[in-house]
């Protein structure tokens, strides 16, 4: 029974999260031979203020970028 946790920044639409869950499930079914109903996908969202790369918060690095694109 596969259990997958995906960590993404907040701001992705429910449609994108549905697509993600389906793609992960389909991949596990195809590669592991498991049944779709046995696959659990947990999407863990975090605030961009809580993520830094190279010492710069992601929210500072890309101000407004994700809001404009709906991501």
CATH of 3-69, one of 3.30.470.20, 2.40.50.100, 3.30.300.20, 3.30.429.10: 3.30.429.10
Segment 25-46, tens digit of pLDDT: 999 999 999 999 999 999 999 9
For the residues of the chain, what is the DSSP string, one character each? Answer: --EEEEEEETT--HHHHHHHHHHHHHHHHHHH---GGG-EEEEEEE-GGG-EETTEEHHHHTTTHHHHHT-
Domains of the chain, residue spans: 3-69
Global pTM value: 0.77
Segment 5-28, tens digit of pLDDT: 999 989 999 999 999 999 999 999
Q: Say whether 36 is catalytic.
A: no
Name the active-site residue from 1, 2, 28, 44: 2
Positive or negative: CA dihedral 24, 39, 4, 2: negative
């Amino acid at each position: 029974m596969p259990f997958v946790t995906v960590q993404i920044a907040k701001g992705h639409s429910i449609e994108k999260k549905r697509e993600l869950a389906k793609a992960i499930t389909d991949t596990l079914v195809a590669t592991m031979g498991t049944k779709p109903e046995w696959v659990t996908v947990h999407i863990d969202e975090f605030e961009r203020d809580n993520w830094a790369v190279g010492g710069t918060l992601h929210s500072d690095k890309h101000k407004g970028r994700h809001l404009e694109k709906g991501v």
